[in-house]
Amino acid sequence: MNLFQSVTSALDLTLEKDPTAIVFGEDVAFGGVFRCTVGLKDKYGKDRVFNSPLSEQGIVAFGIGAAVAGATAVAEIQFADYIFPAFDQLVNEAAKFRYRTGNIWDCGGLTVRTPSGAVGHGAMYHSQSVEAYFSHCAGLKLVIPRGPIQAKGLLLSCIRDQNPTIFFEPKILYRAAVDQVPTGDYTIPLSEAEILLEGSDLTMIGWGTQVHVLREVAGMVQEKLNVSAEVIDLRTIIPWDVDTVCKSVAKTGRCLIAHEAPKTSGFGAELAATIQSECFLNLEAPVERVCGYDTPFPLIYEPFYMPDKWRCFEAVKRLINY
């Protein structure tokens, strides 16, 4: 399966096994703009897989209500760039519902799926990485997969987790690669980072599409600089795996964080702050961040904006030579 097919498989399993599950959003009955819900309406009926009005606030509000009433609600926001009309519903209602009722009620059955990140031609309204906006809000879980196997296992974990979750799907990866994804049911634990490549000289941390860039950079620095890099896929943004990250940085003494979102207040800043606090005596150099720039996402300048392998390679050289 490729990534969008693995998402479809996870939704199919959910609808099959959970009679309370519903899937909804703009155009999902027709398969969705990225084809992630193809065939599900025909298989499960228009009462369980259905289109919503063109209102992100309404989609999330409906999902909160359905989850409070006991349904497993899987909402789709067509692009992460358009999630902001629903920001109030997510941070002031979904995230706080359990807390403000003293655990009498909750909307933990709500999962919001949304395509995010750069796609190569999306410009300012179809390319943004918005995870940091929601990381400031206690009560939500935020998850970003790097490929098809991760997407299915993590999405099923999000749907079954008893907290409202936002599942960001890197849209450029929908058709970028194929994995041998199990057709059956499986989950991948949330809040557990994965060490993809072990190393001794440097820790590199990313999520989503950026993980693939860092894996390529690890090979480059090994070949050209004789630097052994450890690559970590964070996977869950909130609550993130502090233990795995800090153990790695304490071992290597150097850290590079890369993400597509702008540098200022990007989630890499939270990682860097925690690392300098927990690993201060082990650090051999300041934490490096390679990120998008503090501008609206450009169209013709996208190749310069992206934290590509060459920008990451130069950051590694700065870390090693500090």
- Active-site residue set: 56, 126
CA-nearest of 318, 306, 310 to 120 is 306
User: CB–CB of 288/269 below 8 Å?
Assistant: no
For the beta carbon of residue 2, count every other beta carbon within 10 angstroms.
17
Tell me which residue of 69, 160, 156 sits closest to 106, measured CA to CA.
69
By the 8 A CB rule, do 132 and 291 touch? no
DSSP, collapsed to helix, strand or coil, labels residue 25 as: strand
User: 305: which strand partners?
Assistant: none
Phi, then psi, of 142 in degrees rounded to 5: -125, 130
d(CA 201, CA 227): 6
Q: In terms of Cα–Cα distance, which of 307, 302, 306, 268 is closest to 286?
A: 268
Backbone angles phi, psi at 233, to 5 degrees: -95, 115
Per DSSP, the chain holds a count of helices (H) and strands (E) of: 12, 12
